[in-house]
Structure 1
Amino acid sequence: MTTSLNLESDGTAVLLPVRAQPKSSRNQIEGIHAGRLKVCVTQAPEKGKANKALLKVLQNGLQLKRSQIELYKGETAGLKVFRITGMSPEELQKRIDTVLEASG
């Protein structure tokens, strides 16, 4: 399993590619698959519930303020992109590495 994410910066924020895994047994950041952060949530993908749960898992796991993270692309898709402000791609990568080391 590779630990490199395709983190891009749009100048004001970092774009974090995510593979959502709804209806999972636990809410957790699971790992990196095909250049995307795999995030599992227990919610079903209906009425935006899974998206809300994803936001919460990412926010808590990566120690972000609610105002720092938003769903940027892929509202109804399994492959999503979140926009994270107030940090560099390197800082975000460090936080992701820390979460994955703790859960691994």
Structure 2
Amino acid sequence: MSPKQSKQPDDGSRLKIRVQPKSSRNQVDGFEGDTLRLRITAPPTDGKANVGAIALLAKTLGVSKSRLEIVKGHSSREKVVSIETLTEPEVRLRIESAIKD
């Protein structure tokens, strides 16, 4: 396990997500408790849904994909994503703002 995976960055946050692969479109559905629900068109094979989830989340947050990393749940619908440079309140605010638009 790399240091990046085992320790949360001082200037970042972690976000719980639930991914629904093979959806009709890529979409952020919003928060259900403290978990963000994402719909992804990619199938859950060969990491394609993970790549799609990271791409959608990066676009929604307005950050590069390299700032995001799945740290837990690589083969599960329930995942934890590490987000560099954004605090948890900033992440929630950006997501809620993107959903309203």
- 5+ residue gaps, structure 2: 1-7
Q: State how far apart, in whole Å, the 1-side matches of 2:83 and 2:71 are.
A: 9
Q: Which runs of 4+ in 1 moved over 6 A?
A: none
Distance 1:11 1:52 in 2: 21
Matches within 5 A, 1:11-90: 12=10, 13-90=12-89
Aligned to 2:5: none
Aligned length: 93
- Aligned-residue Cα RMSD (Å) equals 1.2
The CA distance in 2 between the partners of 1:41 and 1:11, in whole Å, is 27
- Relative to the length of structure 2, the TM-score reads 0.86
Whole-Å separation in 2 of the counterparts to 1:49 and 1:66: 14
Q: Secondary structure of the residue that 2:36 maps to in structure 1?
A: strand
Structure 1 unaligned residues grouped into runs of 5+: 1-9
What TM-score comes out, normalization by structure 1 length? 0.83
Give the match's secondary structure for 1:92: helix
Q: Distance in 2 between matches of 1:86 and 1:34?
A: 23
How big is the shift at 1:33? 1.7
